[in-house]
């Protein structure tokens, strides 16, 4: 718990981050100290083992990533700072592990090159491609877990998202377009984030869609809004096919 949370007036974590971005170094140092367990947990989830903050290089990478997240976080996107920082920490650690893995492969080849064992660079490329595929799979899985958690805040589920997805491509594209309008309009976005629902009566004046259609697809639109609001790199890439 940070110092500002022990005072009589409690301010949110997002407000503390905003103060840091305005130049409050004391709060930054306090958050970097008090959220070390949170950082260690996020790093350990990537490494699949216990992380010792005093010994493991991966923790240092996670700590620096958390610090970067403080500087780059924007509450206007609608996501919480902890959700955003968790993804930033995990991605930075994954990038670090990937680089170390490639470095190990290169050093191993330089130190013990054997033409009978390694006939061409194709095997090296295949090994690196396989590793990247594993990392990408892990990233997608982590984003799905985070999406499930975020959906639950809006009383939605991943299984429900699959069921409510519009059957026709045009309908899906229209829903995504509507979600983008919600996300890009400050007042509409603030309403959705605060109320956890779509302002149908107001939205009807911003889109070329009937009220009946909005009502029918409101859960899907809300889910697309959540994806737009978060740092879901892989999910956004996957959904480009429907205009996200």
Positive or negative torsion for Cα 203, 205, 207, 213 = positive
Is the pLDDT assigned to residue 244 strictly greater than 70?
A: no
Average pLDDT over every residue of 143-163: 83
Is the pLDDT assigned to residue 180 strictly greater than 60?
A: yes
pLDDT digits (tens, 9 = 90+) for 181-213: 999 998 999 999 889 999 999 999 999 889 999
Average pLDDT over every residue of 99-114: 55
Q: Give the pLDDT of residue 104.
A: 53
- Cβ atoms of 100 and 43 within 8 Å: the answer is no
Instruction: Give 168: exposed, middle or buried? Use CB within 10 Å, 0-12, 13-18, 19+.
Output: exposed
pLDDT digits (tens, 9 = 90+) for 15-57: 999 999 999 999 999 999 999 989 998 998 888 888 888 888 9
Report the alpha-carbon distance of residue 61 to residue 50 in Å, rounded.
15
Report the alpha-carbon distance of residue 219 to residue 161 in Å, rounded.
8
What is residue 201's DSSP assignment?
H
Task: Give how far Cα 102 sits from Cα of 29, 47, 61, Å.
Answer: 33, 16, 17
Average pLDDT over every residue of 207-225: 91
Report the alpha-carbon distance of residue 159 to residue 151 in Å, rounded.
10
Report the alpha-carbon distance of residue 76 to residue 87 in Å, rounded.
17
The overall pTM is greater than 0.75: no
Structural domains in the chain, CATH included, are 3-93 (1.10.1740), 158-242 (no CATH)
């Amino acid at each position: 718990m940070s110092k500002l949370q022990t005072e009589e007036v409690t301010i949110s974590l997002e407000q503390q981050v905003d103060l840091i971005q305005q130049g409050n170094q004391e709060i930054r140092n306090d958050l970097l100290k008090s959220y070390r367990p949170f950082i260690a947990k996020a790093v350990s989830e990537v490494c699949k083992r216990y992380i010792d903050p005093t010994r493991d290089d991966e923790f240092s990478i996670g700590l620096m990533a958390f610090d970067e997240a403080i500087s780059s976080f924007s509450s206007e996107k609608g996501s919480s700072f902890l959700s955003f920082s968790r993804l930033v920490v995990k991605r930075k650690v994954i990038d670090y592990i990937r680089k170390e893995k490639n470095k190990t492969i290169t050093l191993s080849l330089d130190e013990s090159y054997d033409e009978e064992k390694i006939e061409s660079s194709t095997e090296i490329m295949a090994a690196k491609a396989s590793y990247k595929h594993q990392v990408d799979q892990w990233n997608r899985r982590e984003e799905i877990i985070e999406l499930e958690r975020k959906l639950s805040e809006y009383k939605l589920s991943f299984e429900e998202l699959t069921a409510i997805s519009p059957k026709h491509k045009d309908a899906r594209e229209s829903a995504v377009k509507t979600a983008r309008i919600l996300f890009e309009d400050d007042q509409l976005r603030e309403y959705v984030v605060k109320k956890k629902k779509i302002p149908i009566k107001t939205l009807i004046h911003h889109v070329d869609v009937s009220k009946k259609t909005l009502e029918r697809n409101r859960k899907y639109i809300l889910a697309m809004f959540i994806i737009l609001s978060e740092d879901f790199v892989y999910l956004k890439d996957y959904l480009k096919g429907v205009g996200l």
